[in-house]
Structure 1
Amino acid sequence: MYWAEFLTVALIHLLAVASPGPDFAVVVRESVANGRRAGTWTAFGVGTGILVHVAYSLLGIGLIVSQSIVLFNALKWLAAAYLLYIGFKALRAKPAPAGALDVAVAPLRSSRGAFMTGFVTNGLNPKATLFFLSLFTVVINPHTPLAIQAGYGLYLAVATGLWFCLVALLFSQARVRAGFTRMGHWFDRVMGAVLIALGIKLAFTELR
């Protein structure tokens, strides 16, 4: 009896997750710069970050955040600062050393580091807070059993993780990465500029 509601949630989520944002930017950057393994772990981090939003939506904490300008702004500035940090870090990328192009080995990137990049980027995103709050208060009927709502949340986390795993798979292809090999530092700088722009845009997001 909850299939119609689930399909509505799935469709809205599909449209939201396919829209380029901070999550997409960091997964693409990790995949191109550090390879498929790093990109996949970043995707896992983004998917796990969804569970944070689901948890507080089910607990009702999201409602408090949405009604508190102070809490919302604190979350907003934390997220913006993090995006600016990784953006400026990417802007400082330098050209590969001479001879590095002959070595087809991805830079060493820890699974934990890649995972945490995805997790923090998604977990601190206040737009995701508002999205999940509206999803769990407007789209999902309040009378829907908590276990069913939790099931929706688990689906959203898994679907998000799988989507970004596909993104990581695409952008970590040898042919795609080869295209960025010689100009990799410029790609890093462009992605850094994108992340900085997203951070600035996020900083000026207003609570509605």
Structure 2
Amino acid sequence: MTIESGIALFIATAIFASIPGPGVSALVAQSLTRGFKTGAGFAAGLACGDLCYLLTALFGMGWVASQIGPWFALLKWAGAAYLVYLGVKAWMAKPPSEQNTASVSEPHTGRSFLAGLCVTLGNPKVIVFYCGFLPGFLHMPELTTTDIAMVVAIIIPTVFTVLATYAWLAAKGREAMRSTRTWKILNRTAGSIMIGAGAAIAAE
């Protein structure tokens, strides 16, 4: 992996992690009702779940690429199509329903972490996302241990930082995070970028 591709991976990860999907919706709901500490624990669980699927995708894709050679392009196109599909869904997504923001007893941070982990592990589409996302930054047939370490070092801290930011904003600016207008802008901006990324990967 080159410095340029590493920077591109960081930027793309930050954008994609910002897409308000089911995990972010649950995170916002947790932070709205129970505060930042609970939200941060939930975010850590989400990021840990991403790590599990990311490693599965990296090792699995490297093996698949080495076995099927040039036919790997078909898998890449399928992944690109899935990114476009996610982008369209982001455009159509609705904001989270308003939650009662009255004081609620704050659960143990460990339980919040496990809840976030279960949310991600219960969404196997995450691994499909990484299968479509990674070929744009890595030459999968020549995947090395160093490449894997660099990808993990870039993606997971970035994902957690973005999610923790959501938690902080939800805890501090409850009305803004519930704003339909704000949610729609985030969805459509990120959705447009994801559709463009899918098209770029397919055309590469």
**Given the two structures, how large is their TM-score scaled by the length of structure 2?**
0.60
Q: Which stretch of structure 1 is more off in the superposition, 162-171 or 4-13?
A: 4-13
Deviation at 1:116, TM superposition (A): 1.4
Query: Within the alignment, does 1:6 sit opposite 2:6 as a pair?
Result: yes
Q: Is residue 34–residue 106 contact of structure 2 (8 Å, CA) maintained in 1?
A: yes
Residue in structure 2 matched with residue 127 of structure 1 by the alignment:
125
Q: Is the 8 A contact 2:61 2:131 kept in 1?
A: no
How far off is 1:56 after superposition? 0.6
Counterpart of 1:148 in structure 2 is 147
1:62·1:129 contact (CA, 8 Å) conserved in 2? no
Relative to structure 1, is the Cα distance of residues 145 and 59 closer, same or farther in structure 2, using a 3 angstrom cutoff? closer
Q: Find the counterpart in structure 1 of residue 18 from structure 2.
A: 18
Matches of 2:112 and 2:137, distance apart in 1: 33
Question: What is the distance in 2 between the residues matched to 1:155 and 1:106?
Answer: 35
Within 5 Å, give how 1:173-192 maps onto structure 2: 173=172, 176-177=173-174
Q: Find the aligned partners of 2:123 and 2:39 in 1 and give their Cα distance.
A: 19
Say if 2:53 and 2:126, in contact at 8 Å, map to a contact too.
Answer: yes
The answer for unaligned runs of 5 or more in structure 2 is: 65-96, 177-204
CA shift digits 1:80-128 (9 cap, x unpaired) = xxxxxxxxxxx9x8x79xxxx6xxx541311122111211212232331
TM superposition shift of 1:63: 8.1
Match of 1:80 in 2: none
Deviates more, 1:35-44 or 1:151-160: 151-160
Question: In structure 2, do the counterparts of structure 1 residues 148 and 61 end up closer, same or farther at CA, with 3 Å as the change threshold?
Answer: closer
Query: Which residue of structure 2 lines up, in the alignment, with residue 136 of structure 1?
Result: 134
Between Structure 1 and Structure 2, how many residues are aligned? 145
Structure 1 unaligned spans of 5+: 65-90, 181-208
- Paired residues of 2:10 and 2:155 also in contact (CA < 8 A): yes
How far apart, CA to CA, are the structure 1 residues paired with 2:8 and 2:35? Answer: 35
> Once the 2 structures are TM-superposed, how far is the Cα of residue 16 of structure 1 from its aligned partner?
1.3
Report what 1:195 is aligned to. none
1:35 corresponding residue in structure 2? 35
For residues 6-42 of structure 1, the C-alpha deviation after alignment (integer angstroms, 9 at most, x for no partner) is 1222232222111110111111011011111101101
Q: 87, 107, 110: which one pairs with 2:108? A: 110
Question: Separation in 2 of the partners of 1:24 and 1:168?
Answer: 9
Inter-partner Cα distance in structure 2 for 1:51 and 1:160: 10
Give 1 or 2 for the bigger CA radius of gyration. Answer: 1
SS at match of 2:27: helix
Q: Secondary structure at the match of 1:60?
A: helix
Q: Which moved more, 1:120-129 or 1:50-59?
A: 120-129
Instruction: Return closer, same or farther for 1:159/1:110 CA change in 2, 3 Å cut-off.
Output: same
Quick one: structure 1 residues 28 and 167, their matched pair in 2 at CA, closer, same or farther if it must change by over 3 Å? same
Q: Quick one: percent identity of the two aligned structures?
A: 18
Give the equivalent residue in structure 1 for 2:81: none
Q: Give me the CA root mean square deviation.
A: 3.2
Quote how far apart the aligned CAs of 1:144 are: 4.2
